[in-house]
Structure 1
């Protein structure tokens, strides 16, 4: 089978094969694991087409890689490569629509992989953020066009536009693959004529190996780890509101956040930067009002090895997001056996069983419920070890590389059999 993948970012394998500098996996793309697992299937001949910043081509480990900067090459590439099937990863970006159109013109079947569900992400993007931070005036929009910031009304408009693109694309889809009950339901609504195939994720290889997490003696200084906090959908603001209750029991507790801290260029530029990055300003002000600023630490961007170490050094993993499909970070934490607390939103209940494999709480904005769940783990006799072991056992099945690769190959075969005249 000749399969063409379209991916909206440059995968580390593609960067390395094409000789591009800076090949890394800081992005955390789970496609790196899925691609590596598929290389053990000799019946599959993969060409991976990435949308990047420079045109390049290369080959490594039996896979052909092409990196393109635009969509004009799609139709000629399909004529040149003549794949049996086109697999488009993600449904909300312009290149996906362009490739779908080119494949349709060439008479090729297309399989779409749902990654997030932009309809729901857009609906919940700014949940819990006061209206004053969600609106910016004309002056700030003018400045944003010159030096881009992160204005929330601009971000909301972008998410709404992506949701509309996703809906238009899925409305024409014939084959869709996803992972959770949440995206199966979304597919039924957005792609009612499509056949849905379930296929789980294969995560980054490093998280399957080495020593798993073990509970430690943390005394008054437990570490709560949040994998992302730079935009409001990830709900850092509720984690901040939950922290005082944890500090009341553990006075030296730390909230560690993967990613960059709020930008600060000194007192002269601070007011301008604060207005251009309103969500970071809101979280900074909220931390100051709650008296918890000294208990928050940002790590900066983390590659796979550093991210793995951050999980191992934590005592509880937090995922209070207002919407998620099947978050990679939760899967990675579960693979390592780190006890997890997450909001019961989107596809998360499909990944983790409440009370046995971790703790879920109902309303993502309920800081008391989040704090109570964290304290239940910290105060448990085993420090969450039983939850972590059960989560790890579940994740090793959900994210089994060989099984997921085999299921994806079977999906390809099924589609091609259906397409035979």
Structure 2
């Protein structure tokens, strides 16, 4: 990718000591890396997700008909499951190039450290945790005020977020807790009432809609619609349990938000999740492609308030250390100072 003249202009005007780039998912990262290389400006990248790795998990154990199936919207945008995998593969090429050119990387999990060491073993890896959105430091989950037997999943638009696994888990949960409901953050991907809805629905959305019908979950699945920071926080606090059933993650902010609020958590054992949540001490961690274990652990929390409170207290204490704003700010400054005092 060629250098971006706008980036070059910014560098010339600002004359920074170093440039800190957040994320590698989009093409502008490589563009800025190239400009910084030419202008001899030190550069560090903070890893968010890694599309070159996420691409490998995109099919998410879905049936072939769902991976390759298309709707009109999918045809126009080329964003069915197979199309998303191809998109992430293309983006991943730029990502790998950018990482290979960089001498400094900031990460926070065993997973991102392993991936970076395989892409660029010569890069210096700096550890630094993330700070969450301000609202989540102000509140604490209360078991007496939550909606009993309610489950919250922060998003389900993409297959890697594992919503199809949640649909498979729900019938098992409902056998023991018939009033259980799962709330999914974001727009209703199954919506098909109007002509516009039917034009915009994806094949994955149609698949989720079909699972809801097959398992008779119409009264047990709620899409919340888009939530701002405050509304998202409210939804966490109303929930009896938060779940993160993804097929791949680094360190999901949604899990960190749930933990720091004290919402009992269950997460699939993918990416850097096990660095965040200690199994049976701070929550439950389960095999990602085992929705029956997700169902089992949800029921364990639903039936045992003492266990829920134990997880709540332990996870909150852990998250308050991990996401402590001043500690993370000071660590970031240390990284900058370390980079600036060394010649490269």
Equivalent pair of 2:17/2:41 in contact (CA under 8 Å): yes
Aligned residue runs from structure 1 range 122-137, under 5 A? 122-136=55-69
Residue 321 (structure 1) aligns with: 246
Question: CA offset at residue 383 of structure 1?
Answer: 5.5
Residue 408 (structure 1) aligns with: 332
Equivalent pair of 1:118/1:159 in contact (CA under 8 Å): yes
Q: Is the counterpart of residue 114 in structure 1 residue 20 in structure 2?
A: no
Residue 158 (structure 1) aligns with: 87
Determine the C-alpha separation between the residues in 1 that align with 2:323 and 2:84: 32
- Of 165, 178, 181, 1:254 maps to 181
- Of 230, 249, 254, 2:157 maps to 230
Determine the C-alpha separation between the residues in 1 that align with 2:228 and 2:79: 24
Question: What is the SS of the residue equivalent to 2:342?
Answer: helix
| Distance change >3 Å, CA 305–CA 273, structure 1 → 2 | closer
Question: What is the SS of the residue equivalent to 2:130?
Answer: coil
Aligned residue runs from structure 1 range 11-30, under 5 A? none
Q: Is the counterpart of residue 209 in structure 1 residue 138 in structure 2?
A: yes
Aligned residue runs from structure 1 range 276-315, under 5 A? 277-315=202-240
- Of 12, 15, 20, 1:87 maps to 20
Equivalent pair of 1:233/1:323 in contact (CA under 8 Å): yes
Residue 297 (structure 2) aligns with: 373
Determine the C-alpha separation between the residues in 1 that align with 2:195 and 2:276: 47
Determine the C-alpha separation between the residues in 1 that align with 2:286 and 2:133: 27
Equivalent pair of 2:45/2:105 in contact (CA under 8 Å): yes
Question: CA offset at residue 81 of structure 1?
Answer: 0.9
Question: What is the SS of the residue equivalent to 2:122?
Answer: coil
Determine the C-alpha separation between the residues in 1 that align with 2:25 and 2:191: 33
Determine the C-alpha separation between the residues in 2 that align with 1:180 and 1:297: 32
Determine the C-alpha separation between the residues in 1 that align with 2:278 and 2:299: 18
- CA offsets, 1:3-40, max 9 Å, x none? xxxxxxxxxxxxxxxxxxxxxxxxxxxxxxxxxxxxxx
Residue 16 (structure 1) aligns with: none
Equivalent pair of 1:215/1:383 in contact (CA under 8 Å): no
Determine the C-alpha separation between the residues in 2 that align with 1:278 and 1:343: 24
- Of 339, 343, 346, 2:268 maps to 343
Question: CA offset at residue 119 of structure 1?
Answer: 2.5
| Distance change >3 Å, CA 240–CA 417, structure 1 → 2 | same
- CA offsets, 1:71-95, max 9 Å, x none? 4311121111110001111113111
Question: CA offset at residue 382 of structure 1?
Answer: 2.0
Question: What is the SS of the residue equivalent to 1:233?
Answer: helix
Question: CA offset at residue 150 of structure 1?
Answer: 3.7
Determine the C-alpha separation between the residues in 2 that align with 1:218 and 1:248: 21
Equivalent pair of 2:156/2:184 in contact (CA under 8 Å): yes
Q: Where do 5+ consecutive residues of structure 2 fail to align?
A: none
Output the TM-score relative to the length of structure 1. 0.77
Determine the C-alpha separation between the residues in 2 that align with 1:217 and 1:202: 27
Output the TM-score relative to the length of structure 2. 0.94
Residue 398 (structure 1) aligns with: 322
Determine the C-alpha separation between the residues in 1 that align with 2:182 and 2:84: 26
Equivalent pair of 2:150/2:241 in contact (CA under 8 Å): yes
Determine the C-alpha separation between the residues in 2 that align with 1:113 and 1:251: 44
Equivalent pair of 1:263/1:273 in contact (CA under 8 Å): no
Question: CA offset at residue 124 of structure 1?
Answer: 0.8
Residue 107 (structure 2) aligns with: 178
Question: CA offset at residue 156 of structure 1?
Answer: 1.4
Question: What is the SS of the residue equivalent to 1:341?
Answer: strand
Question: What is the SS of the residue equivalent to 2:126?
Answer: strand
Question: What is the SS of the residue equivalent to 2:306?
Answer: coil
Equivalent pair of 2:190/2:209 in contact (CA under 8 Å): no
Question: CA offset at residue 315 of structure 1?
Answer: 0.2
| Alpha-carbon RMSD | 2.0
Question: What is the SS of the residue equivalent to 1:73?
Answer: helix
Question: What is the SS of the residue equivalent to 2:219?
Answer: helix
Residue 52 (structure 1) aligns with: none
- CA offsets, 1:142-174, max 9 Å, x none? x733xx374222211111112222111111210
